[in-house]
Chains A and B, each alone.
Chain A
Amino acid sequence: NAGVTQTPKFQVLKTGQSMTLQCAQDMNHNSMYWYRQDPGMGLRLIYYSASEGTTDKGEVPNGYNVSRLNKREFSLRLESAAPSQTSVYFCASSGLAGGRTDTQYFGPGTRLTVL
């Protein structure tokens, strides 16, 4: 099992450019999450998807959109990147069908710089 995979690993954008971060999990988890991690701020939830077909805002959703493409894949889109979105982005997944959903497993992260 690969667990949670993310692409790309690194990305540099110019202000105003758009991009999509991809995430996939092979653990048959129902729930998936997108976080950003900034120095001194810890992990902050951007969006989550409790199940296929549903998405909800987290603590810091502004400037982002998400798509739960299917049970395995959850993408994060920046429509018009801003320097404040320079961060490390982590995708996570949790839960099995009918099981507890609190334990989250993280991907390796995407380091994004917006110039």
Chain B
Amino acid sequence: QKEVEQDPGPLSVPEGAIVSLNCTYSNSAFQYFMWYRQYSRKGPELLMYTYSSGNKEDGRFTAQVDKSSKYISLFIRDSQPSDSATYLCATSVYGGSQGNLIFGKGTKLSVKP
């Protein structure tokens, strides 16, 4: 079993919809969680990060971590066509000395006007 599992999609939603993207992980030592957004033919860019369980909000984006279920989510409110991209979850052990991240394979999202 891969350490981080992510449904690859693709996921297609109409403009204005609420989007839910999810990952599960297997290693309870992971404590640092991130979401990256990757536009077509571009490098991944950091979107959200959190160190612990609970919610973190940034504009239309909310990252949620449930350590008891080993489940991480990204919610996008009022989705826009500009949100169309691949979203990758990533995690690592808190304070990892090498800075190594474990990535999910990414979910491709398309927001239709």
Contacts and interface: CB of A to CB of B under 8 A. Distances in A.
B18 interface: no
A50 interface: yes
Contacts of B105: 40-42
Contact of A42 (B32, B34, B42, B103): B103
A107 B46 CA distance: 12
Interface in A34-59: 40-43, 45, 48, 50, 56, 58
Interface string B85-110: 00010001011111111011110000
A94 B99 contact: yes
Interface in B23-48: 32, 34, 36, 41-46
B49 interface: yes
A104 B101 contact: yes
